[in-house]
């Protein structure tokens, strides 16, 4: 009997041997997996400049001999932890920026306490961000600050930049930032105003529980958690794969609750009334129109982003008032855009190239 076309019979024993070895490795590494903790994340040396409720401001210790004049303030998404940008040495965006000579600060969030359920959008946009910008200015002695916002941190940065459009923000970089919330179709459907009683929910639970937020993220790709487990088992012999899986899995499950009032505003103003896109957004009674942003802006979007689809993000660059503006679409998804091997070779060098000449 002839072998099927393309099948090399001589390679079969080698293949079987390799599979047997992998099966043995799977058993050994499988036990190791459950017996060991994951890699230590977010370990780039930093100092805590301020802690105020849910707000945490860090300063990463510079490692270059000479740094750019303009410091960077990274504004994290309020649902996620900042260590996605500081995974492990060699895979840390923060470490990359420090090595390239930037002075880096991060506004990161901790879980709002039950008594912080009354935090409103204005507390984030008119208080926490300006407070951090002031502290950055005081700490480094510079007036100008570059703001980088990731996902909803980008939305907060846009709102801040729209209201405080006369400074001190010098540059704005947004990663995967939605503007047209109608285009986040599944989230939009989950929060359909005919069926989703946000007032009742917030009034009964206070802060939005992280389990509910995690479930809504998981529902966007319901099969992926199961297939992720299958892929983990398949590759458990591969230390690099396992390390990467553990890092991203830990981060993806480490969701923060959202302050109740803040969530109510997100639902009503952004999801229901799409005010950011319609240029009718206000924060604490102050108009927040992104056309008022005039500073240089870079928006990085991901080709296969299932959380913030391109249609939801594409209007940012057309709507801002800046003349120096650029959108860059890179291969990858919502997370792999900013962290992991794709980010190391695509986004990070692009960002350095864009920002370096605007940081002097």
Partner 1 sequence: MADKGNDPAVIWQTMIGEMEKGFNSFANQAMASPEFSKVMNQVGGVTAGAQKQLGEMMEKYLVSMNLPSRAQLVGMAERIQAIEGQLNEIKALLHQVHHNSLAPEGGYGAPRPPRTKRPPPEGEKK
Could you tell me the smallest distance in angstroms from the CB atom of residue 149 to partner 1?
A: 22
Residue 356 near partner 1 by CB under 8 A: yes
Residues in the interface with partner 1 (CB under 8 A) total 63
Kindly state whether residue 199 participates in binding partner 1, applying the rule CB under 8 A.
no
What's the CA gap between 272 and 187, in Å, rounded? 11
Residue 45 as a binder of partner 1 (CB under 8 A): the answer is: yes
Contact 292, 162 (CB under 8 A): yes
Footprint on residues 129-158 left by partner 1 (CB under 8 A): 140, 142
- Answer yes or no whether residue 50 interacts with partner 1 by CB under 8 A: yes
In the chain, the N- to C-terminal Cα span, in Å, equals: 72
**In whole angstroms, how large is the CA radius of gyration of the chain?**
22
Rounded to whole angstroms, the Cα distance separating 122 from 175 reads 22
**Smallest distance, partner 1 to C-beta of residue 294, A:** 22
| Exposure class string for 60-87: b at 16+ Cβ within 10 A, else e | bebeeeebbebbbbbbbbbbbbbbbbbb
Residues between 65 and 104 with contacts to partner 1, criterion CB under 8 A = 65-69, 100-101, 103
User: If binding is defined by CB under 8 A, does position 219 make contact with partner 1?
Assistant: yes
**Nearest distance in Å: CB 11, partner 1:** 5
Gap between the Cα atoms of 8 and 93, Å rounded? 44
304 near partner 1 (CB under 8 A) = no
Inter-residue contact 316 to 174 (CB < 8 Å)? yes
Q: Does 324 bind partner 1 (CB under 8 A)?
A: no
Q: Which of 143, 224, 253, 280 binds partner 1 (CB under 8 A)?
A: 224
CB 322 within 8 A of CB 293: yes
Residue 344 engages partner 1 in binding (rule: CB under 8 A): no
- The Cα 45–Cα 278 span in angstroms is 42
Point out which residues bind partner 1 (CB under 8 A).
4-8, 11, 15, 19, 45, 47-51, 56, 61-69, 100-101, 103, 110-111, 113-114, 140, 142, 185-186, 189-190, 192, 194-197, 200-201, 204-205, 209, 212, 219-224, 227, 230-231, 234, 352, 356-357, 359-360
């Amino acid at each position: 009997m002839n072998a099927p076309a393309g099948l090399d019979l001589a390679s079969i024993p080698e293949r079987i041997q390799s599979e047997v070895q992998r099966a043995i490795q799977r058993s050994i590494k499988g036990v190791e997996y459950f017996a060991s903790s994951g890699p230590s994340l977010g370990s780039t040396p930093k100092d805590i400049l301020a802690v105020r409720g849910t707000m945490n401001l860090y300063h990463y210790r510079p490692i270059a001999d000479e740094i750019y004049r303009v410091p960077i303030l990274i504004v994290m998404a309020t649902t996620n932890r900042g260590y996605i940008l500081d995974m492990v040495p060699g895979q840390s965006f923060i470490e990359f920026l420090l090595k390239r000579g930037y002075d880096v600060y991060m506004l990161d969030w901790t879980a709002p306490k039950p008594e912080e359920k009354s935090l409103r959008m204005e507390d984030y946009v008119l208080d926490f961000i300006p407070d951090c910008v002031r502290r950055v200015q005081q700490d480094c002695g510079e007036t100008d600050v570059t703001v980088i916002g990731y996902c909803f941190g980008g939305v907060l940065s846009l709102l801040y930049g729209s209201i405080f459009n006369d400074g001190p923000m010098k540059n704005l970089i947004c990663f995967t930032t939605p503007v047209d919330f109608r285009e986040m179709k599944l989230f939009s459907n989950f929060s359909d105003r005919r069926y989703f009683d946000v007032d009742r929910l917030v009034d009964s639970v206070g802060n939005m529980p992280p389990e509910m937020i995690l479930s809504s993220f998981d529902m966007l790709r319901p099969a992926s958690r199961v297939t992720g487990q299958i892929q983990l088992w398949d590759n458990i012999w591969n230390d690099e794969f396992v390390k990467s899986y553990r890092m991203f899995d830990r981060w993806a499950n480490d969701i923060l609750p959202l302050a109740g009032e803040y969530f109510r505003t997100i639902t009503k103003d952004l999801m229901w009334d799409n005010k950011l896109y319609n240029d009718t957004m206000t924060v604490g009674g102050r108009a927040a129109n992104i056309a008022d942003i005039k500073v240089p802006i870079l928006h990085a979007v991901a080709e296969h982003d299932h959380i913030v689809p391109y249609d939801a993000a594409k209007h940012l660059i057309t709507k801002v008032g800046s003349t120096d503006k650029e959108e860059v679409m890179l291969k990858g998804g919502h997370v792999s855009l900013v962290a992991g091997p794709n980010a190391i070779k695509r986004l990070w060098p692009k960002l350095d190239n864009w920002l370096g000449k605007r940081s002097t």
